[in-house]
Amino acid sequence: MDRYEIRLSGEGGQGLVLAGAILAEALGIQCGKHVAYTQSYGPESRGGGCRSDLVVSDQPIDYPICSQLDLLLCLTQKACDKYWVHLKEGGLLIVDSTRVTRLPSGSFEVCSVPILRTASVKLGREVVANMVCLGVIANLSGLIPREALQKALLERIPKGTEQINQRALEAGYGLTGALTPAMAHAPLP
Amino acid sequence: MLDIQKYLRLEMFPHMLCPGCGHGIVLGALLRAIHSLKLSQDEVVVVSGIGCSSRLSGYVDFDTLHTTHGRPLAFATGIKMARPELTVIVITGDGDGLSIGGNHLIHAARRNVGLTCLLLNNEIYGMTGGQAAPTTPLGKISTTGPTGPFETPFDSCRLVEAAGASFVARGITYEPATLEKLIVAAIQNPGFSFLEIISDCPEFFGRFNRMGNPADQILAQKQNVVDAKTAATLPPERLKGKMLTGILHHEPRPEYAASYQESIAQMGAQAR
Amino acid sequence: MEKMTKPVQLLQGNAACARAAIAAGCRFYGGYPISPSSEIAETMAKLLPRVGGKFIQMEDEIASLAAVIGASLAGMKAMTATSGPGFSLMQEHIGFACYTEVPCVVVDVMRGGPSTGLPTSPSQADVMQARWGTHGDHPAIALCASSPGEVYELTVRAFNLAERLRTPVILLLDEVVAHMYEKVDLGRLAGLPVEDRRKPKGAPGKLEAYAAGEDGVPAMAPFGEGYRYHVTGLAHDSRGYPTQDPAVVETTQRRLQRKVDRCRKEIVSYELLQCEDAEVIVFAYGIVAAAARQAVRQARQRGIRAGLFRAITLWPFPGEELAAAVKQAKRIVVAEMNLGQMTGEVERAVGKKKTVKTCLKANGEAITPDEIFSALQAEDACHA
């Protein structure tokens, strides 16, 4: 697989930094790919915005900063408005259907799913929305084997929260169960 | 019988202090104190900053570190942390310790790191030719305060006590024997010990302010001070304008470097 | 503890620096928090006590390096880390450590300046401060990493050079390298050699503390072991005593410079990418070199014969090596996140016959591969 860029975006408290780290761990350590992982830092994160970027490749990565996104996930309208322009032609935009209502259009696929509502209503804990995100991403992109993601998740989450987080991950897979990567026209690696 | 030469680097002499300077009296008291405590020369480190008083470190036969202006306490903190078993003595001046190094002084006191800090106060910058210090009294002349400063001088002992030092004292070069006892008590306190020593600078402070010969200046110290124990029995009007001498504050509390050492030893024990 | 032993880990640049320091034998850290370097302090605060080391948060950066020098004199390998404003405050003590020959490592995670500048954005504008920040003539060693894995390697190397040559060594990072995560193979890196300072031979006696042999590096006795010697930032003789004798002062000054110069070949390191037949060569270091690598590949795909000279050692400047690498090239593009601090050095090294262009950026954003690619294509300079 060539260079593939993923950005998880939203606001502070949505757990996207941890989600990015789990994704990096799953792809880098469990799947043995090259990864470069960066996060928003400083005033950018204090102002409420939050961004977590991952470059994945089978080859060593020359440049670790994302510029042409293959996959963009947005949990807020603000994040979507800010970052959609960086989507590559043929890229995949995943948005939360409750918080992102104005969808950009362009030569990329859009997938709108109730991530936050699934976490708060179905699972009863909005804080696990980040794990729902991971399930959605894994299912739509076909990038990561389920076991790798589960293993990475268990490595990184606080002890005692395994059950709820795993349920959230499964809920993410379930949310897009009907959609396959092909249907979402995600660029497959 | 004390052979003071044993503690000196004779090859460094003659020293560079001016005739009549009080700093040699302090050095004598320090060496007698070290001798009476039976400290090995190998376990004493003397650290100093920049200025006349800070030159003393070069003349004594210990491990000695002559640092940058104002920073000896920060260097000494690193030494004490690395080797808590050493007796680390810091010699600083009023400009070095209270002006450029004031921040390090209050933080060393706050941490209660086990250093003995001797602050030699001659109320002026002697090494550089007599500029104003943060201890120059109101109305006294210096080259950078030709009409006398309008700034209130520091009371270093009150400052350091407020910052958290566990031992605070003041001595004068007029009383070398008392000074020696105060240095012994300061070294014996395991935490941060602060001793301000009123010294004299006949070459600049004394000359600029027409204070007579060096002996006159040392005698004059006695007029300005009251022993802390005596002061407790005197009415406030008798203490006006006087500085207190002797042990002003002594409240032992855990020493920083030893506490840290102990905590990592416990951590190691848990890991095993 | 399980995480400590896994050979391949995702590590942040700053965390890699701390882990490497401990692996190199560092047992003392004195520092003051400052973005974007604070994770180094945080990691050291957590890990050092576990190996019997000492961490202290000092009252400012001046005190931080002072404590580091004190601890090093007392026999511990010691370091501090900071960013631009703190690095400015440390300069006097970098000079003190040079002159008194106390080994220590200073990490500067560069951020946008001058002044408070851009506390959380990358920059490379401290490269000249690393060379000439402290007053007076002195040798300087500065290394610059362009990935977390390399941060680990260079941290170990920085300690080795500091200990071997008894001099402060500066490790320059930038905000991107410091904060990004990548896989680091700790198993492989655990095998890196570790050097320790040379102690005086024989029992303590009268030590001529600054007497050096052929290599110009005096043996170093730790305080508290009976050697009883004097250390001063004043000009000093071979015993460490202050002197104003011009002949003695001159001898010491030249010895300090020479002890580093004679090891120049061991200190200087760099990486070449496709320079052999290149017409245009990018000179870059740190995170910019990562962008340059991608730009060079892009250029090659388009038929442009491009190459990359990545400086790993910035000081001593790898001038001879650069001159050799660019022999057949026509143009050199210097890409750096400042207004051209290293460009002068490059021009001096390659001579007047080569065209030196720049691709500079000093606005808090990293230089992108596209910007360097444009500079490679264009005959004119690119002011990204």
Residue B118: CATH number of its domain: 3.40.50.970
> Considering the domain boundaries, does residue B108 fall inside one?
yes
Contact A32, C183 (CB under 8 A): no
Q: How far apart are CA C118 and CA C98, in angstroms?
A: 30
> Considering the domain boundaries, does residue A154 fall inside one?
yes
pLDDT at res. A188: 35
Residue B28: give the domain boundaries: 16-229+239-271
pLDDT at res. A66: 96
pLDDT at res. C148: 98
Residue A90: give the domain boundaries: 4-175
Residues in chain C with CB shorter than 8 Å from the CB of A36 are 180-182
pLDDT at res. C111: 96
Q: Judge: B66–C232 Cβ closer than 8 Å, yes or no.
A: yes
Alpha helices (H) along chain C = 2-5, 13-23, 38-47, 61-73, 84-100, 127-132, 148-165, 175-179, 186-189, 246-261, 264-267, 287-301, 319-325, 343-350, 369-377
Question: Which residues 6+ apart lie within 8 Å of A104 measured at CB?
Answer: A80, A81, A84, A93, A110
pLDDT at A138 exceeding the cut of 60: yes
Count Cβ atoms within 10 A of the Cβ of residue C57 and give its class: 0-12 exposed, 13-18 middle, 19 or more buried: middle
> Considering the domain boundaries, does residue B5 fall inside one?
no
**Chain C partners (3+ C-beta pairs within 8 A):** A, B
> Considering the domain boundaries, does residue A184 fall inside one?
no
pLDDT in tens, A53-93: 999 999 999 999 999 999 999 999 999 999 999 999 999 99
> Considering the domain boundaries, does residue B90 fall inside one?
yes
At A187, the pLDDT band (50, 70, 90 cuts) reads: very low
E strand or H helix at B196 = strand B193-198
Q: Judge: C66–B67 Cβ closer than 8 Å, yes or no.
A: yes
Contact A28, A34 (CB under 8 A): yes
pLDDT at res. C5: 63
Nearest to B271 among C50, C67, C227 (CB): C50
At A8, the pLDDT band (50, 70, 90 cuts) reads: very high
E strand or H helix at A8 = strand A4-11
Count CA atoms closer than 13 A to C24's CA, side-chain side. Answer: 29
pLDDT at res. A47: 60
Q: What is the mean pLDDT of residues C358-362?
A: 98
pLDDT at res. B148: 81
pLDDT at res. A185: 42
Which residue in A6, A65, A88, A154 has the most chain C C-beta atoms within 10 A of its own C-beta, making it the best mutation to test that interface? A65
> Considering the domain boundaries, does residue A185 fall inside one?
no
Of all residues in chain A, the one with the smallest CA distance to C9 is: A29
Nearest to C67 among B63, B64, B77 (CB): B77
Q: Is B82 on the interface with C (CB under 8 A)?
A: yes
ipTM of the prediction: 0.97
Question: Which residues 6+ apart lie within 8 Å of C96 measured at CB?
Answer: B67, B68, C69, C102, C233
pLDDT at res. B272: 59
Q: With pLDDT > 70 as the criterion, what percentage of chain A qualifies?
A: 91
Shortest CA distance to C175 belongs to which of C364, C9, C338?
Answer: C364
Q: What is the mean pLDDT of residues C378-383?
A: 53
Q: Is C4 on the interface with B (CB under 8 A)?
A: no
> Considering the domain boundaries, does residue B2 fall inside one?
no
Q: Judge: C182–A42 Cβ closer than 8 Å, yes or no.
A: no
> Considering the domain boundaries, does residue A181 fall inside one?
no
User: In the A/C pair of chains, how many CB contacts fall below 8 A?
Assistant: 66
Contact A70, A100 (CB under 8 A): no
Dihedrals phi, psi of C341, to nearest 5 degrees: -65, -40
Residues in chain C with CB shorter than 8 Å from the CB of B82 are 28, 54, 70-71, 74-76, 78
Average pLDDT for chain A: 91
Shortest CA distance to C65 belongs to which of B75, B257, B84?
Answer: B75
DSSP-derived 3-state class of residue B139? coil
DSSP-derived 3-state class of residue A90? strand
At A46, the pLDDT band (50, 70, 90 cuts) reads: low
Amino acid symbol at A99:
R
pLDDT at res. A41: 80
pLDDT in tens, B141-178: 999 999 887 899 999 999 999 999 999 999 999 999 99
Q: What is the mean pLDDT of residues C265-275?
A: 98
Chain B closest-CA separation from residue C244 CA (Å): 13
Q: How far apart are CA B48 and CA B62, in angstroms?
A: 13
At A182, the pLDDT band (50, 70, 90 cuts) reads: very low
Domains and CATH numbers, chain C: 2-189 (3.40.50.970), 272-377 (3.40.50.920)
For chain B, report the end-to-end CA distance as a whole number of angstroms.
50
pLDDT at res. C381: 43
> Considering the domain boundaries, does residue A186 fall inside one?
no
Q: DSSP assignment, residue A61?
A: P
Per the structure, the count of domains in chain B is: 1
Q: Judge: B71–C62 Cβ closer than 8 Å, yes or no.
A: yes
Dihedrals phi, psi of C303, to nearest 5 degrees: 85, 10
pLDDT at res. A44: 61
pLDDT at res. A145: 95
pLDDT at res. C257: 98
Of all residues in chain C, the one with the smallest CA distance to A22 is: C10
pLDDT at res. C378: 76
pLDDT in tens, C167-215: 999 999 999 999 999 999 999 999 999 999 999 998 887 789 999 999 9
Q: With pLDDT > 70 as the criterion, what percentage of chain B qualifies?
A: 99
pLDDT at res. B2: 86
Residues in chain C with CB shorter than 8 Å from the CB of B103 are 59-60, 63
DSSP-derived 3-state class of residue C382? strand
Question: Which residues 6+ apart lie within 8 Å of A37 measured at CB?
Answer: A20, A21, A23, A24, A28, A52, A53, A54, A55, C10, C180, C181, C182
Chain C closest-CA separation from residue A164 CA (Å): 23
Q: With pLDDT > 90 as the criterion, what percentage of chain A qualifies?
A: 85
pLDDT at res. A189: 35
Of all residues in chain B, the one with the smallest CA distance to C231 is: B65
pLDDT in tens, B54-92: 999 999 999 999 999 999 999 999 999 999 999 999 999
Q: What CATH number does residue A32 fall under? A: 3.40.920.10
> Considering the domain boundaries, does residue B6 fall inside one?
no
Count helices and strands in chain A by DSSP H and E runs: 7, 6
Chain C closest-CA separation from residue A187 CA (Å): 22
pLDDT at B119 exceeding the cut of 50: yes
Q: What is the mean pLDDT of residues C100-105?
A: 98
Per the structure, the count of domains in chain A is: 1
pLDDT at A136 exceeding the cut of 80: yes
> Considering the domain boundaries, does residue B3 fall inside one?
no
